[in-house]
Amino acid sequence: MSYKRKDLLGTRDLSSDELMFFLDYAKEFKNLNNQSIKKADNLRGKTVINVFYENSTRTRTSFETAAKRLGADAINFTASQSSTKKGETLIDTIHNMEAMKTDIFVVRHNCSGSVRFIAQNSNACVVNAGDGLNEHPTQALLDLFTIREHKGSFKGLNVSIIGDIEHSRVARSDIWAMKTLGINVTLFGPPMMMPNRVDAFGCRVAKNMEEAVEGADVIIMLRVQLERQGSSTPFPSTREYSKFFGLTKERVKLANKNPLVFHPGPINRGVELNSDVADSECSMVLNQVENGVAVRMAVLSTLIKNRG
Ligand code: CP
């Protein structure tokens, strides 16, 4: 079992073996991260540049942490403070940084497909840290790692993904990976935030919050992505959103025994997730963040091995 590709661009075309390889490998790094000295030399002498055209807290800092713990020189490129503002193109920007002998680019961009475009035009390894509405593969890997850690296996598991599915690259990467691993996925969200062809995902679609939560082992709440909704807010008030689409403690009671609640962050408290759930024992929000570092260490180590 291994992963032989140059890049990690999404989960849609990954096999079950490739997904499981990353989850198994990440365990080694989780153990390392629990030591007092969290250092390995898998990326010693290598250069990783985090190329971020969109804001990030978790993904960028965890990739930077992962790269540094593996001994790499980790550099952060922030588009808003770069020559992008003077009109430099995406590929010119990448080629200039590649000329500095960069080994891995970790890229977040607002356009779907842009990270694949970079991978096709660069000899360096490329990791997709979120491209538009398309994919966020390391988020899916850290979600799966956290689910397996708490539930033991994926067999017969029911996962409900709830909220702004249309604008969520997290939802897409989770759905593709979970379907490959045989997980039963249910989707639910406001009609104005559901993709037109939601049936194309091949998932069960719930009619209301209660139906979406009932029988779930894992509930993944999605952030309402106001930055992708254009000029008009797609719902009249946050109170109304919370009433029809928010996860409350009462609703969590409808789920299976010992349910796990996930959220990729940042949370809109009181909108998609109430604080009494976000800060409760069933909340995996900070476990997801912790496991994100281990998963990203596994991804970076694998790609650098493939690069030779
Ligand atoms: N989960 C996630 O992508 O969070 P950030 O936007 O803070 O990186």
β strands within 5-113, DSSP E: 47-52, 73-78, 104-109
In this model, does residue 207 exceed pLDDT 80?
yes
pTM comes to 0.97
Instruction: Report, as an integer, the average pLDDT of 94-115.
Output: 98
In this model, does residue 93 exceed pLDDT 90?
yes
Alpha carbon nearest to ligand 1 atom 6, residue: 56
Domain 137-284 fold is Rossmann fold (3.40.50)
Binding residues: 58-59, 86, 108, 136, 139, 169, 223, 265-266
CB 235 within 8 A of CB 27: no
Cα→Cα distances 156→95, 183, 216, Å: 46, 6, 11
In this model, does residue 231 exceed pLDDT 90?
no
> 265 in ligand 1 pocket by Cβ < 6 Å?
yes
pLDDT (tens digit per residue) in 60-84:
999 999 999 999 999 999 999 999 9
Long-range pairs for 118-126: beta carbons < 8 A, 24 or more residues apart: 118/90, 118/91, 118/94, 119/6, 119/7, 119/9, 121/91, 121/94, 121/95, 122/94, 122/95, 122/98, 123/98, 124/98, 125/6, 125/7, 125/303, 125/304, 125/306, 125/307, 126/6, 126/7, 126/8, 126/9
Determine what percent of the chain is predicted with pLDDT higher than 90: 94
| Ligand 1 atom having least distance to the Cα of 57 | 7
Q: How far is the CA of 62 from the centre of ligand 1 (A)?
A: 10
In this model, does residue 127 exceed pLDDT 80?
yes
pLDDT (tens digit per residue) in 144-166:
999 999 999 999 999 999 999 99
pLDDT at 308: 81
HSE-up of residue 183 (Cα within 13 Å, Cβ side): 29
In this model, does residue 1 exceed pLDDT 80?
no
Q: How far is the CA of 143 from the centre of ligand 1 (A)?
A: 13
> 56 in ligand 1 pocket by Cβ < 6 Å?
yes
Report domain 16-135+289-307's class.
alpha beta
pLDDT at 235: 74
> 82 in ligand 1 pocket by Cβ < 6 Å?
no
The pLDDT confidence band at residue 272, using thresholds 50, 70 and 90, is: very high
Domains of the chain, by residue range, sit at 16-135+289-307, 137-284
In this model, does residue 230 exceed pLDDT 80?
no
How many other C-beta atoms can be found within 10 angstroms of the C-beta atom of residue 307?
13
Alpha carbon nearest to ligand 1 atom 3, residue: 59
Find how far residue 195's CA is from the centre of its chain: 19
pLDDT (tens digit per residue) in 32-47:
999 999 999 999 999 9
pLDDT at 220: 98
Alpha carbon nearest to ligand 1 atom 5, residue: 56
The pLDDT confidence band at residue 109, using thresholds 50, 70 and 90, is: very high
pLDDT at 80: 94
pLDDT (tens digit per residue) in 273-295:
999 999 999 999 999 999 999 99
Q: How far is the CA of 142 from the centre of ligand 1 (A)?
A: 12
> 139 in ligand 1 pocket by Cβ < 6 Å?
yes
Q: Do domains 16-135+289-307 and 137-284 have the same CATH topology?
A: yes
pLDDT at 237: 83
| Ligand 1 atom having least distance to the Cα of 139 | 1
- What integer best gives the mean pLDDT of the chain? 96
